[in-house]
Amino acid sequence: MSLSQALSPPVIQCVELGLEGRLKAGRERVVGQLSLLVSTRSAYRHPVGRRFLEAIEKRTKIAGDLHDRIGTAVQEAVMNSLLHGNLHIDTQARESLEGLNELHESIAHELERPDVAHCMIQLDALWSTKMLYVIVRDSGVGYPRDRLPRRGEPDACAARSSGRGLSILTAVCDRVAVIEGGRAIRLGFRL
């Protein structure tokens, strides 16, 4: 079954086969909630962020440029979770063609390890008539809160981390919060 079909309403929770029982327990289910749990391997190989956004759009109105902003933010958060959280890959190597090749080889090598390939990435969406929150969680060790950039400090963020991911998130989201010791990020958007 395709991910788009698996996330179609009235589904509120979709878990990849083999990851049952690993969905982070949340509060009682409410209207305006959707959860997706996938493995690192699946998140790397498939456009899970795009499909998750499509599923949200089937449930609530997302107007104007908000679709693009949410799509950019969710994709960036998923890639950060994949590379930094679950694969523990240093992406500084992408500065050159040789480094980019090494990066892809490192990713392929890590995805061959079952203990890494089956680590989870969880996406949760909660919305009301005014706000949409998307939370992306990984299985990594997290990072200190001081690596979260402040608005207007994109260059400072790049110096504190291995890339521009958090700067991108603060630029396209209305709210960004690093939670759970850096193992999750909550992205907020005004609807």
**Any idea where the domains of the chain sit in the sequence?**
3-190
| Percent of the chain whose predicted confidence (pLDDT) is above 90 | 64
Q: Supply the pLDDT for residue 100.
A: 82
The lowest-confidence range among 37-46, 101-110, 168-177 is 101-110
Nearest to 87 by CA among 69, 102, 108, 67: 108
Fold held by 3-190:
Heat Shock Protein 90 (3.30.565)
- Mean pLDDT of all residues in 69-82: 95
Task: Give the residue, 149 or 74, on which the prediction is more confident.
Answer: 74
| 33-39/120-127 β-pairing | antiparallel
Q: What is the pTM of this model?
A: 0.86
pLDDT higher than threshold 70 for residue 97: yes
Q: Residue 13, exposed/middle/buried by CB under 10 A (0-12, 13-18, 19+)? A: middle
Mean pLDDT of 107-129: 94
C-alpha angle with apex 10: 47 to 65, nearest 5 degrees? 50
Look up tokens 């060790």; give the residue. 141
Tens of pLDDT, residue by residue over 139-186, are: 998 876 666 555 555 444 444 445 678 889 999 999 999 999 889 999
